């Protein structure tokens, strides 16, 4: 189906649900263009629900919508974090809920748009994210050095058997985190997972864009090549000089990690491209695994996201 576009200035907002709206799906599925069209029609403002577009200066590698792509629709939760500084999902949750309240206070509808299932659920559901304490973590890590991962896992099992049962005895990072949280809060780490299996239907009206696998793979390949052609290496170099190295070389920084490896002379440009494509396809699979567990999302399959804008709009309004 071909949608009829409505310019933002011509939109005549009608009733929309009281709960926030959401448009989710894997990377490269066409969410950006579809979300701007939907927001224009609904009189909505967009909140990007993404773990990487929050960072200032990380534009090309995150496929952050450019001002021209936004077509005058306000976008929130973009460029709110310094890539050289720590930023947590708990901080994102706080900022997102404040942004939703601000949008609603002006009589507008918030439209959550993104591919990060964790960040999506952090905003719409009552999930708790305990803080961190570097001193406590160092103490637990020192204990780990003395006991080993299995010994530390046994200590966790004595205090919080539910958490220990969900962790491999060799997964030292998760064991340390569980004991750090317990020492910091006085609560078992497992108690913070109580909301993960609940999906309250009144929290969000969500639509998902599902692209046929072959089409999605082609889009991912095209996007990766476009990033390199449009300045990903130069953007990465500038960010590295600005002190963002630990974030850019982390495992979640797809595109930037490979660009940094190429700039350091450790891999060629073609290998960087192939790795970006392969890792992005893996990311898309993980994103779909997250979202398909959520029964609140109604899925719309199309070769182009714009083909189903009319149907998604109707879903939001009913």
pLDDT in tens, 11-20: 444 444 578 9
- The CATH fold of domain 8-127+198-317: Rossmann fold (3.40.50)
Helix (H, G, I), strand (E, B) or coil at 171: coil
**CA–CA dist 57, 49 (Å, integer):** 17
Taking alpha carbons only, the member of 230, 138, 117 closest to residue 183 is 138
pLDDT in tens, 130-160: 888 889 989 999 999 999 989 999 999 999 9
Per-residue confidence band for 217, with pLDDT thresholds at 50, 70 and 90: very high
Report, as an integer, the average pLDDT of 114-121.
Answer: 95
Taking alpha carbons only, the member of 95, 107, 124 closest to residue 45 is 107
Half-sphere exposure of 155 (CA within 13 A, CB side): 18
All structural domains of the chain with their residue ranges: 8-127+198-317, 134-193
Answer whether residue 196 shows pLDDT above 90.
no
**CA–CA dist 44, 24 (Å, integer):** 16
CATH number of 134-193: 1.10.20.140
**CA–CA dist 21, 206 (Å, integer):** 6
What is the per-residue pLDDT for 17?
A: 52
Do the domains 8-127+198-317 and 134-193 sit in the same CATH topology, yes or no? no
The pTM of the full predicted model, rounded to 2 decimals, is 0.85
Half-sphere exposure of 239 (CA within 13 A, CB side): 30
């Amino acid at each position: 189906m071909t949608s009829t576009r409505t310019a933002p200035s011509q939109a005549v907002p009608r009733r929309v649900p009281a709960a926030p709206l959401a448009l989710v799906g894997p990377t490269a599925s066409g969410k950006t263009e579809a979300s701007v069209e939907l927001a224009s029609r609904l009189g909505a403002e967009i909140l990007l629900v993404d773990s990487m577009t929050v960072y200032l200066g990380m534009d090309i590698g995150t496929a952050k919508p450019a001002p021209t792509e936004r077509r005058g629709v306000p976008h929130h939760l973009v460029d709110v974090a310094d890539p050289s500084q720590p930023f947590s999902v708990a901080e994102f949750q706080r900022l997102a809920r404040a942004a939703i309240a601000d949008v609603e206070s002006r009589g507008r509808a918030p439209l959550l748009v993104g591919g990060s299932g964790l960040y999506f659920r952090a905003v719409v559901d009552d999930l708790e994210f305990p803080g961190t304490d570097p001193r406590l973590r160092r103490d637990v890590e020192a204990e780990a050095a003395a006991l080993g991962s299995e010994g530390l896992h046994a200590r966790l099992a004595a205090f919080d058997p539910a958490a220990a049962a969900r962790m491999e005895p060799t997964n030292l990072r998760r064991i340390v985190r569980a004991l750090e949280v317990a020492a910091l809060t006085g609560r078992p780490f497992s108690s913070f997972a109580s909301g993960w299996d609940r999906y309250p239907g009144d929290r969000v009206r969500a639509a998902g864009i599902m692209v046929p696998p072959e089409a999605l793979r082609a889009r991912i390949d095209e996007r990766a090549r476009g990033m390199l052609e449009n300045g990903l290496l130069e953007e990465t170099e500038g960010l590295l000089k600005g002190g963002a190295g630990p974030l850019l070389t982390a495992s979640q920084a797809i595109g930037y990690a490979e660009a940094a490896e190429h700039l350091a002379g450790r891999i060629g440009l073609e290998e960087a491209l192939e790795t970006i494509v392969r890792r992005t396809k893996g990311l898309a699979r993980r994103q779909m695994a997250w979202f398909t567990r959520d029964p609140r999302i109604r899925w719309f399959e199309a070769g182009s996201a714009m083909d189903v804008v009319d149907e998604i709009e109707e879903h939001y309004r009913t």
